[in-house]
Chains A and B, each alone.
Chain A
Amino acid sequence: MSGIAIRSLAIRTIALSTFGSFLRNKVILLFGSLFVCVVLLMMTPLLGFKAMTNADNAQQMQGFILNEVTIVISMVSGFGSLLAAWAAADSVAGEMKSGTILAVMARPLRRWEFLAGKYLGVLMLMGVYVVSMLGVTLFLAWLGGQSFHASLWTLIVYPLVRYAIWAAIAMLLVTMIHPILAMGAIVIVMTLIEVFASTVNHIPMWLKTPVHLVLPLTGLLSEERFMEITRASVKPFPWTNHLTALAYGLDYALVCFLLAVFVFQRRSLARD
């Protein structure tokens, strides 16, 4: 086997082990169960509206139903971002805290390969999450009597790239600070993005430019840009726009990941 094949086997081994550990992680299982409960709860009013629909109020009820589905999609997206960040932070910090990293890094494995394996493991988890949540959303929309007029690949790739950004940011932060502080910083960044998105026209240029440069523009990677669910219609969206939006997201994630590798390369792996 060539050197590259051996290296890629090592990265895949770390990725699969990380993904396997997520599937056994009690915190993820607990939050997953809670999330399913919330979705089930959201279905109650949805089904209620549907049952109350008659010829006189059909349009109004349809509006309620689509609103419910939009709320679920927003929840899925927000929770997914937090999950991606937490999984990335925990996958690195957990190994360092428990000391399992020592036996792993004693193997002929470079530090960036370890981090790349961990990152791929997180993306595998988020891939499963995106596909599952897409299933839930499609099911809810079907219950509401709507169907998505958008290519399915966009509903998978866009959220995945968004989650890749949050995972890379969390990985960068956790190589420098405690995971709880890292998650606190992530929540602050998410809040700032929301604030800037809603007040973008009131922000002076001197503040807007650095914010655009530093904070990830996750709004660019939102499915809502090309899918208007409240009218169950598709906005015109050329493939070049898809390409630039996704390239922006991947570039942002790559920069954060490379910074994480740079910091991780220099830090102590053992507990002092």
Chain B
Amino acid sequence: MATPAIEFSGVNKVYQRRFGGVQVAALSNISFEVARGEVCAFLGPNGAGKTTSMNILMGFIYASSGRSRVFGYEPGDVRAKARIGFLPENFAFYRYLNAEKLLRFHLRLSGRQLPDPAALIAGLLTKVKLDSYKGLKIGKYSRGMVQRLGIAQALLGDPELLVLDEPTSGLDPAGRKEVRDLILALKAEGKTIFLSSHILSEVEQICDRVIIIDRGHMVRSGTMQEMLAEDNRVEIIVDHLPEELELALQERGASVEREAHRVRIAVDVTQKRAVAEMLWAGGCDVISLTPMKSSLEETFLKLVASGGAQ
């Protein structure tokens, strides 16, 4: 079996204040694996320990105990780092450089030998739509432009594993879609992607697997299908709903939500046929009838709100 791209086993991280001896447990017994070629989302509310985990993964900080490996190497090992592209949360940069010079600097550090580095840099800047700003000093970039540049530098070494901490942070909807498409293209190329994000609808569209942590504890880990497990309810959308019919439906345990030009009715799957017939008989036009699924957001909120750390 191939070595997993990322391996965390019983990782703990305790921060200790220098004076006063106060200990803060940032991570408690975190264990997970990310297989090669997988797109894995690492989710959690603010302060859950996502960035701490990513910093351990990159070798920026050391775990207090437990075992962590990247492609089988210790975090921070140059053999592992040579295969990683990393986008930190709030990507910081040398403000006096322009995009081209910054990428050239990072390319030299990556040790990647290319016959034409200028072509690679130009291609990456075009990919993140910064080609027309390549001469502008980065200090004058907007938040979104800096984030795009951060993504370009993460892709610079043609990495096998991309670790992206909030990749769509600061981007407008169009920019977010572009990043989403870029991640999907990288996924198609077989790259492993480990990302954190608060925009769960995007995560739902691009990720194969989800890991949720809260207050330093693992809450849940599973495939996206497992996370979006089917609900045992159906949603019926009708053009209108007379009030007497609404009361009758409520007696059958249905919930009704009125919108401007339609009405949404959620009902237990066992009542589906009876309710549909009632609606037809009541003169309502049934627009659609679909099985309901929990969104990732609903699952996430449910898990985090319940404080259900395993």
Number of interface residues of A (CB under 8 A): 28
Interface residue ranges of B96-120 to A (CB < 8 Å) = 96, 105-106, 108-111, 113
Name the residue on A nearest B94 (C-beta). A100
Decide yes or no whether B155 CB sits under 8 A from chain A.
Answer: no
Could you say which of B81, B88, B108, B153 contacts A99, with CB atoms under 8 Å apart?
A: B88
Decide yes or no whether A105 CB sits under 8 A from chain B.
Answer: yes
Name the residue on B nearest A17 (C-beta). B105
Cβ A108 vs Cβ B78 within 8 A: yes
Cβ B111 vs Cβ A6 within 8 A: yes
State the CA gap A111–B58 with chains docked (Å).
12
Minimum Cβ distance to chain A for residue B72 (Å) = 16
Minimum Cβ distance to chain A for residue B1 (Å) = 26
State the CA gap A237–B59 with chains docked (Å).
51
Interface residue ranges of A58-88 to B (CB < 8 Å) = none
Decide yes or no whether B265 CB sits under 8 A from chain A.
Answer: no
Could you say which of B60, B78, B86, B150 contacts A109, with CB atoms under 8 Å apart?
A: B78
Could you say which of B15, B59, B157 contacts A272, with CB atoms under 8 Å apart?
A: B15
Could you say which of B62, B82, B96 contacts A21, with CB atoms under 8 Å apart?
A: B96
Interface residue ranges of A73-128 to B (CB < 8 Å) = 98-100, 102-111
State the CA gap A14–B110 with chains docked (Å).
12
Cβ B150 vs Cβ A103 within 8 A: yes
Looking at chain A's contact residues, the main secondary structure is helix
Inter-chain contacts of B61 with A (CB < 8 A): 268-270, 272
Inter-chain contacts of B153 with A (CB < 8 A): 103
State the CA gap A13–B103 with chains docked (Å).
12
Contact flag A99-B92 (CB < 8 Å), given A107-B106, A269-B60: yes
State the CA gap A20–B62 with chains docked (Å).
31
Interface residues on B, range: 20 to 34
State the CA gap A6–B84 with chains docked (Å).
17
Cβ B111 vs Cβ A9 within 8 A: yes
Contact flag A10-B111 (CB < 8 Å), given A108-B82, A110-B78: yes
Name the residue on A nearest B56 (C-beta). A270
State the CA gap A110–B109 with chains docked (Å).
11
Minimum Cβ distance to chain A for residue B59 (Å) = 8
Name the residue on B nearest A11 (C-beta). B109
Contact flag A103-B92 (CB < 8 Å), given A108-B78, A268-B61: yes
Cβ A10 vs Cβ B108 within 8 A: yes
Inter-chain contacts of A21 with B (CB < 8 A): 94, 96
Binary per-residue interface labels of chain B (52-75) against chain A in the complex, 1 for a CB within 8 Å, 0 otherwise: 000100111110000000000000
Minimum Cβ distance to chain B for residue A105 (Å) = 7
Inter-chain contacts of B141 with A (CB < 8 A): none
Binary per-residue interface labels of chain B (35-64) against chain A in the complex, 1 for a CB within 8 Å, 0 otherwise: 000000000000000010001001111100
Name the residue on B nearest A24 (C-beta). B96
Cβ A107 vs Cβ B81 within 8 A: yes
Decide yes or no whether A1 CB sits under 8 A from chain B.
Answer: yes
Contact flag A100-B111 (CB < 8 Å), given A106-B58, A108-B82, A110-B78: no
Inter-chain contacts of B78 with A (CB < 8 A): 108-110
Cβ B86 vs Cβ A106 within 8 A: yes
Cβ B92 vs Cβ A102 within 8 A: yes
Interface residue ranges of B139-161 to A (CB < 8 Å) = 150, 153, 157
State the CA gap A247–B125 with chains docked (Å).
49
Cβ B92 vs Cβ A109 within 8 A: no
Inter-chain contacts of A102 with B (CB < 8 A): 58, 60, 86, 88, 92
Name the residue on B nearest A100 (C-beta). B92
Minimum Cβ distance to chain B for residue A128 (Å) = 18
Minimum Cβ distance to chain B for residue A93 (Å) = 14
Interface residue ranges of A214-248 to B (CB < 8 Å) = none
Cβ B60 vs Cβ A108 within 8 A: no
Inter-chain contacts of B86 with A (CB < 8 A): 102-103, 106
Inter-chain contacts of B113 with A (CB < 8 A): 1
Q: Could you say which of A13, A21, A106, A108 has the most chain B C-beta atoms within 10 Å of its C-beta?
A: A106
Decide yes or no whether B90 CB sits under 8 A from chain A.
Answer: yes
State the CA gap A270–B60 with chains docked (Å).
6
Binary per-residue interface labels of chain A (2-42) against chain B in the complex, 1 for a CB within 8 Å, 0 otherwise: 00001001100110010011001000000000000000000
Cβ B109 vs Cβ A107 within 8 A: yes
Inter-chain contacts of A9 with B (CB < 8 A): 108, 111
Known: A14-B109, A269-B55. 7 other contacts (CB 8 A): A99-B92, A102-B60, A103-B88, A106-B85, A108-B81, A108-B111, A268-B62
Subset of 19 A-B contacts with CB under 8 Å? A1-B111, A1-B113, A6-B111, A13-B105, A17-B94, A103-B86, A103-B88, A104-B109, A107-B106, A107-B109, A107-B111, A107-B157, A108-B79, A108-B109, A109-B81, A109-B109, A268-B60, A269-B61, A270-B61
Cβ-closest 8 pairs across A and B: A99-B92, A106-B86, A107-B109, A108-B82, A108-B78, A6-B111, A269-B60, A13-B108
